[in-house]
Amino acid sequence: MQALIDAVQHNCDIVDARHGTDYGICTYLLKMRELYRWQRGIPLGERLDKDHVGDWLTARETHLESLEESEFAALDIGGRSIDPFDAESVNASLGAEGLVYSAGLMDGARPHFFLAELEDEQRADNGFVLRVSGRELARCLNAPPAMTRGSTIFLRRESLRRLLWEKYEAWLWNRPENAMARAIAHYPFETAPDEALDAMSKAEMGVIEAHERGEHQAGLDLGEAWEAMLLDLRLTPAEIMARAVRDHLADCSHTLPMLMGEGREPSLHLFMANLGAMRKQLFPALLLAYGDWLASGDRSVFMRPIQGGADHWLGLAERMLELHSRHGGEAAKAIADEVEGAFF
């Protein structure tokens, strides 16, 4: 399997060569720092030697520069040569190897690959598949903890654990009294950080699964036209808006009802802490509900924006598709204008 691991990592490196600098310099350096930790197998929380990281970064960037014009390599498994984007064929060929592979396009139509040890796989009669991975063997600079590919959801336990630790470390710089602080307060990070991280990761696996189930349902509701629209909106403000709208749809239909129904207050705080700027701008009613909850202790204040939000975001997404159908590749401005007039 080492040849397969090397081939997937080669393709991941090509992605990083082409798109690593799409991030701002600070984000890029932080991601490189954590990639170094992953490659070297250095435990989370252990101090990194700045000189070693600097030498590695110089060598890494030289390596990536040599790959900028390279083509993605086919994956040879059991005597078959498989297109690296044909994830289902790769997973079928892996058989009893105990591995899971994913490939596809992410934000800005960036390719993405990863290979990891398979911890669990669940299949439903309707073709829905849930795959949970553990130790990662090959990955890109960007390592999202969850993703949906067609009817398959991938949950990456190692990436989630690493992401949560990074967020905790970032909070430690100034220790602001915010939603992140309220989430952290439910776990013993000060006295038993490893146990705290394990407990938080276990809880958040259920949250990201709920979100991806919402993404899967959104995909069924909106159809393939949504992905075609995203390609035409690539690298425009409208693409960021479209992804935020679909995230809100998934969360109002699945994630937030689950958090409310199970009374998962630590995860609700963390959910609010992780909302990006665009999502906050589009959904002020959710921010107001969070403030009301903090003041009153009554979680039911979330029900109105959640219940109303599910219909609102689906309706907005459908209107965006109508605009794309009408304007095609020139729809970005019309879609952005529509979203800006539909805050909830």
Mean pLDDT over 132-140 rounds to 95
With both helix axes pointing from N to C terminus, report the angle between 237-250 and 332-340 in degrees, rounded to the nearest 10: 50
- The DSSP secondary structure of 235-291, one letter per residue, reads TSHHHHHHHHHHHHHHIIIIIHHHHHHHT-HHHHHHHHHT--HHHHHH-HHHHHHHH
Question: pLDDT band for position 127 (50/70/90)?
Answer: confident
Please give the pLDDT value at position 314. 97
Output the average pLDDT for the chain.
93
Share of the chain above pLDDT 70, in %: 100
In this structure, the number of other CB atoms found within 10 A of the CB of residue 237 comes to: 15
Please give the pLDDT value at position 107. 74
In this structure, the number of other CB atoms found within 10 A of the CB of residue 340 comes to: 13
The answer, yes or no, to whether residue 336 has pLDDT greater than 70, is: yes
CA distances from 322 to 225, 231, 338 (A): 10, 15, 11
Please give the pLDDT value at position 95. 76
Question: pLDDT band for position 23 (50/70/90)?
Answer: confident
Task: Look up residue 52 and give its amino acid.
Answer: H
Please give the pLDDT value at position 241. 96
Antiparallel, parallel or unpaired: β 75-77 and 152-156 = unpaired
Please give the pLDDT value at position 300. 87
Q: What whole-number distance in Å separates Cα of residue 60 and Cα of residue 47?
A: 20
Burial of 175 (0-12, 13-18, 19+ CB in 10 A): exposed
Please give the pLDDT value at position 235. 86
Question: pLDDT band for position 108 (50/70/90)?
Answer: low
Please give the pLDDT value at position 14. 96
- The DSSP secondary structure of 76-120, one letter per residue, reads EETTEEE-TT-HHHHHHHHGGG-EEEEEEEEGGGEEEEEEEEEEE
Which region among 66-80, 120-134, 319-333 has the lowest average model confidence (pLDDT)? Answer: 120-134
Mean pLDDT over 139-157 rounds to 91
Question: pLDDT band for position 112 (50/70/90)?
Answer: very high
The answer, yes or no, to whether residue 54 has pLDDT greater than 70, is: yes
Q: What is the pLDDT of residues 173-212, one digit of tens each?
A: 899 999 999 999 999 999 999 999 999 999 999 999 999 9
The answer, yes or no, to whether residue 162 has pLDDT greater than 90, is: yes
- The DSSP secondary structure of 117-137, one letter per residue, reads EEEEEEE-TTS-EEEEEEEEE
Provide the token pair at 205. Answer: 């696996």
Please give the pLDDT value at position 99. 95
Question: pLDDT band for position 123 (50/70/90)?
Answer: confident
Q: What is the pLDDT of residues 222-281, one digit of tens each?
A: 999 999 999 999 889 999 999 999 999 999 999 999 999 898 999 999 999 999 999 999
The answer, yes or no, to whether residue 18 has pLDDT greater than 70, is: yes
Provide the token pair at 2. Answer: 């080492």
